[in-house]
Amino acid sequence: MKLLQLLEGIDVLKISGEPGGDVSDICYDSRRCAKGSLFVAIPGLKFDGHDFISDATKKGAKYVIHERNIPPEQGVVFIRVKNSRSALGKSGKNFFHNPTAELCLTGVTGTNGKTTVTYLLESILKAAGFRVGVVGTINYRYNQRVFESVNTTPESVDLQRIFRSMADSGVTHVITEVSSHALDLGRVDDSEHDIGIFTNLSQDHLDYHHTMENYFLAKKRFFQEILKEGKIMIVNGDDHWGRKLVLDMKRPAITFGIENSCDISVNKFDISIHGIHANTTTPDGNFPVSSPMVGKFNLYNILAATAAAVSLHVPKEFIQSGIKGLKGVPGRLERVSNGSEPRTFVDYAHTEDALKRVLENLSGFKEKRIITVFGCGGGRDRGKRPLMGKAAAELSDLTIVTSDNPRTEDPFTIISEIEVGIKENFLRKYVPDELTGGFLEKGYIIMPDRGEAIGLAVSIANNSDIILIAGKGHEGYQIIGETKISFDDAIIAREALARRRMRGA
């Protein structure tokens, strides 16, 4: 593409060099630059792309977009702009010929439930015969092709590249998870959304946003600036922040909920360890739905996906079959045990609200005790650590505090901050030797090694107990220091259950 075509819509301050050439590709990582490419220097959270311009040109980049004063370089065209991040998204949209104009694009944002809503809506749309693509936390997928997810929402130019590939391969509908980071960093600014879904808001990412109000404003920006007037806005009407969003926006919205009067709701429902059965009410008529997924929070996810499907005029039979056909979502209250074993679940809950909701739902199914294994990630919102500790202690019979992804933090520092919340309940603190024969009194134990913590939970549980392994969900790794090692909660739990069977427990 001609450079001047690629720069359309970008606030260019100055061009140094001959701008009449062709651009072969766009890159923001100097290591991925090649001959004739355009390098966009982005000031990042850890590194500044301006420091890697010479590396990019050595790799063959012929064009450079930048914000700072840069010394000229022979044979390189420098384009100074007001905002490099904005220029990256717009140049990507231009380079890939605005792919979202050819797609029906749904963005799902909120603290919890984004992944499950995308899976549900994908299943519904596939049942209706559409060709569907998904971009989310677990992976990016379309037409039986699956790619590893790097970020919940990819960088803007990567997103445009994915959308172009989807459109060219015949995809008609795309569903994306839209994170607050992505919104704050402008990653979806140049994607034309047809539907926006707000699931809920609870404390998370305050290491980045600092306050709940800032966190809300990042989410609100999606509906205020990106989802254009006349497009479909779907909001959780039972969520405090959702109701505030509707009031602030002063534009039509489709609401879903269980407790308040909403456009998409239920007049009767039953939730058990075996699944969900509900009679949904919609503006297009009422109909029953059933799902093998468990938990009241998943009923909210079902209603969110139903609201999107109804807004797209999907017939009810496809909504019903799509919901029923989704057996589960990896790492989202995923059952990893057999029928005769302690009911063992792996879940991604990594906020106080998510952990509390999962445990409250599991409490409704428990016969005897709940054992919870969880930790908190390093280098992330420290304020939620004692809150998660308190939630786990209040709703579990035994809490096993372990490591999550400690990253470069000391695992014992993270654990001690979790323990502050647990101590509010004045629980007994166990040591490993005390639990060899099980436990009778409600309490907690510190076990930093996550594999050992999961093994302990499985070994001391009775067949009528429930085990929740929370925090990492679908993740197949653990980050310790700067190193990512192979670690999957579901695999570790299944191995522990297999050892239990061999012992005849």
pLDDT in tens, 51-101: 999 999 999 999 999 999 999 999 999 999 999 999 999 999 999 999 999
Indicate whether 504 pLDDT > 90. no
Mean pLDDT over each residue of the chain, to the nearest integer: 96
Please give the angle made by the CA atoms of 451, 456 and 461, to the nearest 5 degrees: 135
Residues 244 and 379 placed together within one structural domain of the fold? no
Residues 213 and 235 placed together within one structural domain of the fold? yes
The phi, psi pair for 257, rounded to 5°, reads 175, 175
What CATH number should be reported for the domain holding residue 31? 3.40.1390.10
Q: How far apart are CA 40 and CA 157, in angstroms?
A: 10
Residues 189 and 161 placed together within one structural domain of the fold? yes
Q: What's the length of the chain?
A: 505
Residues 320-340, mean pLDDT to the nearest whole number: 95
Q: How many domains does the chain have?
A: 3
Residues 346-359, mean pLDDT to the nearest whole number: 95
Residues 404 and 291 placed together within one structural domain of the fold? no
Chain center to CA of 368: 32
Which two three-digit tokens encode residue 457? 């939970």
Which two three-digit tokens encode residue 44? 């990042």
The phi, psi pair for 214, rounded to 5°, reads -65, -40
Q: How far apart are CA 446 and CA 409, in angstroms?
A: 17
Q: Which residues contact 67 (CB under 8 A, 6 or more apart)?
A: 41, 43, 50, 80, 81, 82, 83, 84
Tell me which of 299, 325, 351 is where a domain ends.
Answer: 325
Amino acid letter at 247?
L
3-class SS of residue 415: helix
Residues 285 and 185 placed together within one structural domain of the fold? yes
Indicate whether 210 pLDDT > 90. no
Tell me which of 65, 95, 125 is where a domain ends.
Answer: 95
Residues 465 and 348 placed together within one structural domain of the fold? yes
Per-residue pLDDT at 505: 58
Please give the angle made by the CA atoms of 399, 401 and 406, to the nearest 5 degrees: 155
Residues 112 and 256 placed together within one structural domain of the fold? yes
Task: Provide the pLDDT confidence category of residue 437 given band limits of 50, 70 and 90.
Answer: confident
- Residue 320 neighbours by CB distance under 10 Å: 19
What CATH number should be reported for the domain holding residue 150? 3.40.1190.10
Distance of CA 80 to CAs 5, 64, 67, Å?
16, 8, 5
Residues 430 and 494 placed together within one structural domain of the fold? yes
Provide the β-strand partners of residue 255.
235
pLDDT in tens, 215-270: 999 999 999 999 999 999 999 999 999 999 999 999 999 999 999 999 999 999 99
pTM: 0.93
Q: Which residues contact 33 (CB under 8 A, 6 or more apart)?
A: 27, 39, 55, 56, 57, 59, 60, 61
DSSP string, 433-467: GGGTT---S-EEEE---HHHHHHHHHHH--TT-EE
Residues 434 and 490 placed together within one structural domain of the fold? yes
Residues 85 and 128 placed together within one structural domain of the fold? no
Per-residue pLDDT at 313: 97
Q: What residue ranges in 199-264 does DSSP mark as E strands?
A: 232-236, 254-256
Q: What residue ranges in 244-292 does DSSP mark as E strands?
A: 254-256, 265-272, 275-282, 285-291
Residues 13 and 120 placed together within one structural domain of the fold? no
Task: Provide the pLDDT confidence category of residue 152 given band limits of 50, 70 and 90.
Answer: confident
Stretch (H or E) spanning 174: strand 173-177
Residues 432 and 497 placed together within one structural domain of the fold? yes
User: By residue range, what is the domain housing residue 276?
Assistant: 99-325
Q: How far apart are CA 356 and CA 347, in angstroms?
A: 12
Tell me which of 325, 347, 363 is where a domain ends.
Answer: 325
Distance of CA 217 to CAs 136, 205, 224, 229, 352, Å?
21, 13, 10, 18, 20
What CATH number should be reported for the domain holding residue 455? 3.90.190.20
